[in-house]
Structure 1
Amino acid sequence: MEKKFNIDVVILWVDGEDEAHKIKVAKYLNNVDLLNSKGFKTRFNQKNEIKYCVDSILKFAPYVNSIYIVTDNQIPPFLKESNSDIYNKVKIIDHKVIFNGFDEYLPVFNSNAIETMVSKIPNLSENYICFNDDMILIKPTKPTDFFDINGIPIIRGKYMPFESDKFFKKLAIILGLKKIKTKGYLGYKRKQDFFFKLMGKSNKICVNHTPFSFRKSTMEIFFKMNPDIFLNNIKFRFRNENNALTQSISAFEEVNNNAAILKNDYQLIQLDSPKKNIFWIKLKLYLGENNPKKIFLNIQSLDLYSVSKVNYLKNWLDKLYL
């Protein structure tokens, strides 16, 4: 059955190697030594993953209405270089547009803050999917992979205990095999814990690094009813451990209101470490490519991979989109 509503895509993007961006970051960063740390740089550096992300959407999700790339006075190189109309669905949205009326919080380098303002994109459809620029489609998809025929979001997530409550993690800490995460640690899973604890829950809906289905009205209503969470999300220029993930907010609200379909299969191939050897990478890609249920690929921190691994991955992706 054909969809009865528009579906847009939103992608946050930054070129961290741009000198103007580096100068802007340094101006607001208390510890400038962080600029040279791998953990900090990899949040902003890129290897043109955005092109593969966009190309994958155009090829494997042709039903998408518009693709909004949200950025800070930057344009991805592949858009500058393209002379064709292949990218006519792509629209650049500057931070100034979505932070209109909240200009005092600009410039911002915090993806949680930017995601909080996504619903303010002009003409954004009620139903939209948020991608990170390192999230890539690898097989044909249907609208119903993200929303049912009535626009109810498909949320890929699993009920799981908080990280601090997991038995084997507790045991590893007791045995001295694992360190206790200190205040300020901004891990993805711990940030999910933070929000569900804030809402008084004893466990969480754990989401992963996959494209995430949103309804604009859900986010607008939540932030209207919770202005303290809204303000706390946008006031930090850099990531803060007390930011609430928008994915967790959406999952909490939609599931609580019986307005979501919870899918416990992430359908994801995840390359989550540049330290893994090339044979592991090839095996993961081979198994995922031949598993019809795997439709997403997430390559984390591609800028930290060796040249040979980057070349292999790019060649693999180039063949996929020929």
Structure 2
Amino acid sequence: MDSLPTQMAEQVRTAAMEGGPGRRAKRAIQRYSTQMQARPLTDSAAPLRIAQLGNRAWVCVAEDGVSAAGARQRNLDLVVDALTTANVEYWVVDAADARQRITVAAHEHDRERALAALHDAYAENAVYIGDLARPTRLSKLARYPLSDEVGGVRVFSVYLSTTGQSYLGAAHACELEFWSTAPDDGSLVAPRPNRTGARIPLSDKLPAALSINEREYPTLEPFTAPRMFDVTFPIDVVYTWVDGNDPEWRARKSATMESHGLGRLNDEAANDSRFASRDELKYSLRSLEKYAPFVRKIYLVTDDQVPVWLDPSNERLQVVSHRELFGGTGVLPTFNSHAIESRLHRIPGLSDYYLYVNDDVCFGRPVTAENFFHANGLSKFFLSKAQVDLGAPSADDPPVLSAAKNNRLLIESLFGRTMRNKMKHTPHPQQRAVLEDLEAKFPEVFSETAAHQFRHSGDYSITSSLHHYYAYLTTRAVPGNIRYMYTDLSTPETPGRLRRLLHRRDMDTFCINDTNSEPENYEKESEMLINFFEQYFPERSTFEL
């Protein structure tokens, strides 16, 4: 690899270690950013750039399309390639999930050789290191004094989008730790706890291979066994989407509304904002590809519509029309999301466990299958603090409320329990077996909901609520916890909430809903939303043309 100028590396290191958006950090960025952008790595077409991220200046690899899982594997490769070149024995301890860093181990007696190997490979490149005991002290590898007592190191590059609006850094580092050998029986002893065991007996020190994205890494047999709480079954995602600006679709909607008689519809049942598309789906798919690598396949349910930016040839994506979904059931055309949701479990080829995701829901940081399901097949649901109003369902209720009341009446009749809470606007973990069981026992719940072309006081919210409560009371689901944010696009608080979210990026998922925006605010709200999305998810996904 090309070397970075020693003077530049030192000034960037100094600026980074001092922290804060001070003058030295700013001068370092201004002085060297132009020449850095023209310095490609020899093993990549990506140039290097200096950027101030948070309170520090970093030398970054400027490249689009790097996912969280991809950054973790690249950092793993940094470590194993250096150790392999230096002929230092190592093994992967934990090919971690999205919330944990990948860990590599080497022998304690190879500590000096391992650190020297990293130094020789990356001393003058955009690779950073930190002592595991002091993870906040990160600097250029060539300039960081590591003592003989170091229990391990954290190695990573910072991957920056070419727009400079998104990056993956230390959170996705590879950690190299040093294992000792017990003098009494030759066991390997870990310097800290891990998910398998802190002591590997001599009898279990059997070599094995671990495959990650078609590359095999050496490990030991105990680290290849499936863990008790790891979800291993396939999980798909189902989206529903509509383009409310499509003239043909609007004509179908207008004709259907006229046939119903507008006086019979609640104001919120057919308002334009419910069907408006601001390309939220594009950014939701970007977030899924970047932060939810466990998803197998994506099904997009539409009224014979396809977004103009979508690449339908992507092997992981299948577009499903309402005609295919409903078959000879329900009434089409439908403009009722409750009706569409009542048929999702019938998608051919859909996995037994899946997530139902509205197009206005995004993944805000790396998530795992375990965020939504337990390894034994139990699904999770996420209760809101908001409660369902008391009283019987009424045509005067907003449709979402009358559907919740209908859910409550059914649950009470079955189990003698009263549901009080709504659900959070997150991805909804679903089990086909639960929905098939419900439909077999209460076919009228599904058929009547599917027959309502617009939201109706007789609807049930089957996927977003009824599924969860029924699964819980039949011992197939449990409450879960998730960090999420919900905001309505038209509320005054939304701009501030989006700024905070963009700065902190500390939510597992978030939903930016649009329940009833005023037409005169459409352009302004769209500009705000797209600006936010382009800063949070600036890189195209493989689902885009």
Residue identity over aligned pairs, in percent, reads 23
The within-5 A match list for 1:1-322 is 1=227, 2-29=230-257, 30-31=260-261, 40-79=271-310, 82=311, 87-102=314-329, 105-158=331-384, 162-164=388-390, 183-200=395-412, 201-246=417-462, 247-263=464-480, 265-276=481-492, 280-286=494-500, 290=504, 292=506, 294-301=507-514, 304=517, 305-321=521-537, 322=539
Q: Answer whether contact 2:394 2:457 (CA < 8 A) is retained.
A: no
1:13-59 per-position Cα deviation (integer Å, ceiling 9, x unaligned): 11111111011112211346999x88611111111111011111111
Q: Answer whether contact 2:304 2:321 (CA < 8 A) is retained.
A: yes
Decide which structure has the larger Cα Rg and report it. Answer: 2
What residue number does 1:178 align with? Answer: none
Q: Answer whether contact 1:160 1:203 (CA < 8 A) is retained.
A: no
1:250-292 per-position Cα deviation (integer Å, ceiling 9, x unaligned): 11211101221202x4522112141415xx5234541575274
SS of the equivalent of 1:92 reads strand
Aligned-pair RMSD on alpha carbons?
A: 2.8
1:236-261 per-position Cα deviation (integer Å, ceiling 9, x unaligned): 11111111111222112111012212
Q: Answer whether contact 1:205 1:252 (CA < 8 A) is retained.
A: no
SS of the equivalent of 1:129 reads strand
- Change beyond 3 A, Cα 1:312–1:107: closer
Report the Cα offset of residue 127 of structure 1: 0.3
Q: Answer whether contact 1:208 1:266 (CA < 8 A) is retained.
A: no
1:141-198 per-position Cα deviation (integer Å, ceiling 9, x unaligned): 1000111112211111158754137xxxxxxxxxxxxxxx963432434421221123
Provide the C-alpha distance between the structure 2 equivalents of 1:145 and 1:6, rounded to a whole number of angstroms.
14
- Change beyond 3 A, Cα 1:140–1:52: same
Provide the C-alpha distance between the structure 1 equivalents of 2:296 and 2:307, rounded to a whole number of angstroms.
20
Provide the C-alpha distance between the structure 1 equivalents of 2:482 and 2:395, rounded to a whole number of angstroms.
29
Provide the C-alpha distance between the structure 1 equivalents of 2:501 and 2:285, rounded to a whole number of angstroms.
23
SS of the equivalent of 1:164 reads coil
- Change beyond 3 A, Cα 1:101–1:183: closer
What letter is aligned with 2:280?
A: E
Report the Cα offset of residue 100 of structure 1: 1.4
Q: Answer whether contact 2:498 2:532 (CA < 8 A) is retained.
A: no
SS of the equivalent of 2:456 reads coil
Q: Answer whether contact 1:159 1:204 (CA < 8 A) is retained.
A: no
Report the Cα offset of residue 106 of structure 1: 1.5
Greater share of residues in helix: 1
Structure 1: tracts of 5 or more residues without a match = 166-180
Provide the C-alpha distance between the structure 1 equivalents of 2:505 and 2:473, rounded to a whole number of angstroms.
32
What letter is aligned with 2:320?
A: I
Report the Cα offset of residue 307 of structure 1: 3.5
- Change beyond 3 A, Cα 1:113–1:283: closer
1:46-79 per-position Cα deviation (integer Å, ceiling 9, x unaligned): 1111101111111111111111110011101221
What letter is aligned with 1:147?
A: F
Provide the C-alpha distance between the structure 2 equivalents of 1:196 and 1:295, rounded to a whole number of angstroms.
29
- Change beyond 3 A, Cα 1:51–1:302: farther
Q: Answer whether contact 2:489 2:525 (CA < 8 A) is retained.
A: no
- Change beyond 3 A, Cα 1:204–1:90: same
- Change beyond 3 A, Cα 1:89–1:33: farther
Report the Cα offset of residue 227 of structure 1: 1.2
SS of the equivalent of 1:65 reads coil
SS of the equivalent of 2:301 reads strand
Structure 2: tracts of 5 or more residues without a match = 1-226, 540-545
Provide the C-alpha distance between the structure 2 equivalents of 1:186 and 1:17, rounded to a whole number of angstroms.
24
Report the Cα offset of residue 108 of structure 1: 1.3
What letter is aligned with 2:338?
A: N
Instruction: Count residues with an aligned counterpart.
Output: 298
Report the Cα offset of residue 126 of structure 1: 0.4
- Change beyond 3 A, Cα 1:140–1:77: same
1:204-246 per-position Cα deviation (integer Å, ceiling 9, x unaligned): 3420211100001100111111111111111111111111111
